[in-house]
Amino acid sequence: MDFSYSPEQLELKERLNKFAREVMRPAAPIHDKEQSVPWEVIKQASAENIGTLDFMMKLGEDPGGQFSIIYAEEMHWGCAGIALSIAGSGLAAAGIASSGTGEQIAEWVPKCFSTSEEAHLGAYAVTEPSAGSDVKSLKTTAKLDGDEWVLNGTKVFITNGGIADVTVVVAAVDPELGTRGQASFIVPKDTPGLSQGKKEDKLGIRASQTTEVVLEDCRVPAEYLLGGMDKLNKKLERARSGQKTGSANALATFELTRPFVGASAIGIARAAYEFTLEFLNDRTIEGKPALDHPGTHQALADLAVEIDAARLLVQRAGWMGRNGIPLLGGQGSMSKLKCGDVAVWATAKCMDIVGPDAWSTDLPLEKWYRDAKIYQLFEGTSQIQRMVIGRMQVSEFRAGLEQAKAAFEADKASATGEPVPA
């Protein structure tokens, strides 16, 4: 075990914190107020090689699995809405990388990310009015017509909806088969039939654009089906014949991506905590420095413990994922669940400590309080995280029982010379 940051991790943390402090923080209030897309920050980030394809690929190189977590925490410490505008492209890229062929990955992933010259964004469109957690119930359809796929349906709550250069759309090819009848499609910007629907007026992360994505007889070439026709046909055949398909793979992928979301929430909690310390540093309680008051110590202790505990869960999950250790106990979901809860609790607690001043938009606390809540709602609600963790814990326990039983039978057999049961 080594809990210290490597020189490379520290360097990344300092570089991103500087960007978050000097570029994101000053831009945050206006984009939060006007709910506008932070194009100038997105462009500045790419000019500084932050959030570009090259940058994202380097994040995977850390043997400790901490680079992407550091990226998420520092950027969300700057402004969660702006950070999500940039990081949202990663969702589209992950959708392409997990389903696409080598050629599709090589062609489309780079188009989701900005270069130092041009800003590019990606969007990943799954959720529908009655299908988010219940992803098997997607109503958006994809029908093959000659050498084109025709997509019809409405997606809701899509990050970077309407402004993405590449939208990855998940649609039902055979709705009877639930998730096993679904496939993902590339829909480039300006494809006829693709349009932005209602733009959400949100409580928090307001610099991140969230919209409906409407598909009306939206035609894309057959080769925009991710994974290709043969793979889809085999999947459909297996599903129709009742064989199992890749839902275990999807679960394992979520375990790897959730620590990133958890780290994002911790960035907000840490921003609120640090601000509260600085605020109290200039205040007195009963004529004494507020930072020396026993009541303050009680509150700060709880905040420090919760934030550090949540971050340690994220760091463990990041390390396990990078080192190929299966997250069979739901360690990725644990980290996301805990961090979302801590961000909501910690930002409210900081508001309590600071008092009525915190309610004013003169202080940034109210923004962090509004921004935090989403981490219990998207990328799998907290209830869904609990459901996943609970199921994974039970199957780990049952697998342990099976192993113990097999070991017991083997011991018994070797003691008595009986054959070991199959």
Ligand X SMILES: Cc1cc2nc3c(=O)[nH]c(=O)nc-3n(C[C@H](O)[C@H](O)[C@H](O)COP(=O)(O)OP(=O)(O)OC[C@H]3O[C@@H](n4cnc5c(N)ncnc54)[C@H](O)[C@@H]3O)c2cc1C
Whether 379 is catalytic is: yes
Q: How far apart are CA 294 and CA 130, in angstroms?
A: 50
> Can residue 384 be called a binding residue for ligand X (CB under 6 A)?
yes
Q: How far apart are CA 217 and CA 343, in angstroms?
A: 42
> Can residue 133 be called a binding residue for ligand X (CB under 6 A)?
yes
**DSSP string across 112-175:** GS--SS----EEEE--BTTBSSSGGG---EEEEETTEEEEEEEEEEEETTTT-SEEEEEEESSG
> Can residue 122 be called a binding residue for ligand X (CB under 6 A)?
no
Residue with the closest Cβ to ligand X? 132
CB of 206 to ligand X, least distance (A): 10
Interface region with ligand X, contact rule CB under 6 A, candidates 152-160, 231-239, 287-295, 398-406: 152-160
- At a CB cut-off of 8 Å and minimum separation 6, what does 129 contact? 154, 156
The helix (run of H) or strand (run of E) holding residue 184 is strand 182-188
91 or 225: whose CB is closer to ligand X?
A: 91
> Can residue 340 be called a binding residue for ligand X (CB under 6 A)?
no
92 or 290: whose CB is closer to ligand X?
A: 92
> Can residue 126 be called a binding residue for ligand X (CB under 6 A)?
yes
Q: What are phi and psi of 38, to 5 degrees?
A: -80, 60
Inter-helix orientation angle 365-372/331-354, to 10°? 150
Report the residue from 37, 53, 56, 158 that binds ligand X according to the rule CB under 6 A: 158
Identify the active-site residue in 103, 117, 379, 409. Answer: 379
> Can residue 265 be called a binding residue for ligand X (CB under 6 A)?
no
Q: Give me 279's structure tokens.
A: 């605020």
- Which amino acid makes up residue 381? T
Considering only residues 204 through 233, tell me which ones interact with ligand X, judged by CB under 6 A: 210
> Can residue 257 be called a binding residue for ligand X (CB under 6 A)?
no
Interface region with ligand X, contact rule CB under 6 A, candidates 28-36, 274-282, 379-387, 406-414: 379-387
> Can residue 345 be called a binding residue for ligand X (CB under 6 A)?
no
Q: How far apart are CA 138 and CA 129, in angstroms?
A: 9
Which residues participate in catalysis according to the annotation? 379
Binding site for ligand X (CB under 6 A): 91, 124-127, 132-134, 157-159, 210, 374, 377-381, 383-384, 387
